[in-house]
Structure 1
Amino acid sequence: MTKLTVYEEFKAFYNKAYSFLMQKEAENNLALGLLNQIAESNKYENPLFILVENGSELEGVLLMTPPHHLIVSFRDGFEDFVETSRQLKEITEQRSIEIPGFIGEKNAAKRFAGIWTSGDNSSLVVHMRQRIYRLAEVKDIPISNGKFVQAEDKHQDLIANWLLGFIEDTPERSIPLEDAKKRANEMLNENSIYLWEVDGEPVSMARSARRTDKGITVNLVYTPKEHRKKGYASSVVAELSRLLLQDFDFCTLYTDLDNPTSNKIYMDIGYKPIIDSIMINV
């Protein structure tokens, strides 16, 4: 019988959830990377840690860092979404937790979200259709004029404004400029932001994030409108991926399926699609 267990102690949850998620390391890069971030810092308030079990068998992992969507990962062939939804509703009601939506493998997340809303699929809103890519080797592609550099403290305001531009181009919730500056400072302290510069002027950026055991994610790829269609995004992502592959076996990234240009860019670099994901608001 399916049973949901809430874990108050992170280490106990981590030990069980991590090994389950590692069975599909690249596909589960979001949850795995988030678990590693939680293990290394206390930046997330009131996280929700739940395991879905059937007897001694682990069937799924549910993870949420409010106010973000609940990450759902189930074993292949899992079917007991009705009981899982029922128990999750009990847990969230008892703890006064609001779940804004779900993110996970497309088919499982859609089925779970439909049952969560009592079969009223008309109330579901697709926040973003995504595809997860994996890269093990960068193709030999043309590189734009310019050079690949690591961002420095002097770039904080630029990165903050580009972060706002990135959010504006996506379905993500907007944030105040001060919050963007804070996030830019955090990323600079992590040494995770890289730029493409032409004649000393930054024209595009990308970030390394969410390491797993053998992989790491590339995200926050952004080029301001005045510099687009010149190959700068391809160049910065290709060079960052090459750099990361010196220490990791593979890179992963998420794309917005409604943006065919970015999907083509990444495939030209060598990224290969491995799974479709979906973010659903409920």
Structure 2
Amino acid sequence: MPSDDWYLTDDVEEFLARAGEFLRSRPAPHTVHLTVTENLRSSGARPYGDADPEFGVLAGEDGAGVRAAFLRTPPHPLLLTALTEEEAAVLAARLADEGRGVSGVTADRDTAAAFAGAWRRIAGAEVRLRQRMRLYRLGELTVPQPVPPGRARVAGEADRKRLARWFEEFSAAIGEPGAQDPEYWADERVRRGDVMFWRDSDGTPVAMAGMSPKVAGQVRVVAVYTPAHLRGRGYAGAVTVEVSRAALESGAEEVLLFTDLANPTSNGLYQRIGYRPVSDFAMYDFG
């Protein structure tokens, strides 16, 4: 039987002291764990809501090293590193026994399916596959042709309201309304200068893309968004190229992004830019 030697904590510094080296050892598959914990560690507020975050670390064989880890920022889904089917069942039983409500799970495809199945059996919850995702890594950056008129610029102080509104629209479009407070998200992006607009020939912003903080040499492209009435004109590709270039110029060793596998347009676009598949992930919601 797999070990139930999970150490649970609500302290991000304690979690990173135990699991940080493990997470940094494979920065691509652990990209979300790395960026979420960095946001929690560095921000003076709670960027993901008012509830206390939860963390877990599974010790390796004979208590040496780290085998796996999880984090959760309620009400968001549990975020797991890779587990075997048996390990997923043991963790599900542990969390259910302790009465910890779990709204869903996000992990690599096999781990997510294993945990969702175990949670359904143990907790009696309804389980729904919300999204299948693919993680990409940038190879050789390529500019898709033709490039639309205009140029990129970093979003600044005067762009706060637009950033907040677009992030709210983006979150709704991907099925995650309320993922973060839009005003807080906009404030942080302006402070860090990590969102770029593509502006048309008149100087009007027509699309945005951001990047996560650099952690363990990796940066992830996030929040690529074009308002519905402006889509199909190449703006998303153009701004993604520029934010990817900025990530490389910042010294990132790996530039990553996730796509929704149900959207063939975005998957095709990112591959034309030079992104190559790494692995598939899945998100399940629990009733």
| Counterpart Cα distance in 2 of 1:236 and 1:139 | 12
- Aligned mates of 1:25, 1:281 — CA distance in 2: 25
Query: 1:82 corresponds to which residue?
Result: 89
Report the counterpart of residue 3 of structure 1 in structure 2: 5
**What residue is the counterpart of 1:241 in the other structure?**
244
User: 5+ residue gaps in structure 2?
Assistant: none
Aligned match of 1:278: 282
Letter matched to residue 61 of structure 1? A
> AA paired with 1:213?
A
Whole-Å separation in 1 of the counterparts to 2:124 and 2:133: 19
Distance 1:141 1:81 in 2: 42
Structure-to-structure mapping, 1:66-145, within 5 angstroms: 66-74=74-82, 79-91=86-98, 93=99, 97-118=100-121, 123-142=126-145, 143-145=147-149
Distance 1:121 1:9, change over 3 A: closer
Pick closer, same or farther for the CA change 1:50–1:144 going to 2, 3 Å.
same
**What SS does the aligned partner of 2:102 have?**
coil
Residue type of the partner of 2:88?
Answer: F
The 5 A counterparts of 1:173-192 are 173-174=177-178, 179-192=181-194
Task: Give the Cα–Cα distance (whole angstroms) in 2 for the partners of residues 209 and 268 of structure 1.
Answer: 22
- TM-score normalised by L of structure 2: 0.88
Give runs of aligned pairs for residues 1-282 of structure 1, distance below 5 A: 1-44=3-46, 45-53=51-59, 54-57=61-64, 58-74=66-82, 79-91=86-98, 93=99, 97-118=100-121, 123-142=126-145, 143-174=147-178, 179-198=181-200, 199-246=202-249, 247-282=251-286
Whether the aligned pair in 2 keeps the contact of 1:206 and 1:221 (CA below 8 Å) is: yes
In the superposition, relative to structure 1, how do residues 227 and 280 fare at CA in structure 2: closer, same or farther (>3 Å)? same
Q: TM-score, normalised by structure 1?
A: 0.90
Whole-Å separation in 2 of the counterparts to 1:89 and 1:168: 30
Distance apart, 1:190 and its partner CA: 1.9
User: Which whole-Å CA distance do the structure 2 matches of 1:120 and 1:12 have between them?
Assistant: 29
Deviates more, 1:112-121 or 1:233-242: 112-121
**How far apart are the structure 2 equivalents of 1:240 and 1:67?**
30
- CA distance in structure 2 between the aligned counterparts of 1:123 and 1:35, rounded to whole angstroms: 29
Instruction: Give the AA of the match of 1:227.
Output: L
Write the distance in 2 (CA, Å) between the matches of 1:277 and 1:141: 27
User: In the TM superposition, what is the alpha-carbon distance from 1:192 to its structure 2 partner?
Assistant: 1.5
Mapped partners of 1:121, 1:274: distance in 2: 33
CA distance in 1, matches of 2:142, 2:266: 16
- Identify if the C-alpha distance between structure 1 residues 120 and 261 changes in structure 2 by more than 3 Å, giving closer, same or farther: farther
Count of residues paired in the alignment: 275
Gaps of 5+ in 1: none
Is the 1:205–1:233 contact (alpha carbons within 8 Å) kept by the matching residues of 2?
Answer: yes
267-276 vs 210-219, greater mean Cα deviation: 210-219
Residue 243 of structure 1 deviates from its aligned partner by 1.3
Residue 137 of structure 1 deviates from its aligned partner by 2.9
Q: Provide the aligned C-alpha RMSD in A.
A: 2.1
Post-superposition CA distance 1:229-249 (Å, at most 9, x none)? 111100000011011101211
Structure-2 separation of matches of 1:42 and 1:55: 37
The percent of aligned pairs where both chains have the same amino acid is 27
8 Å CA contact 1:206–1:237 kept in 2: the answer is yes
SS of the residue corresponding to residue 245 of structure 1 reads helix
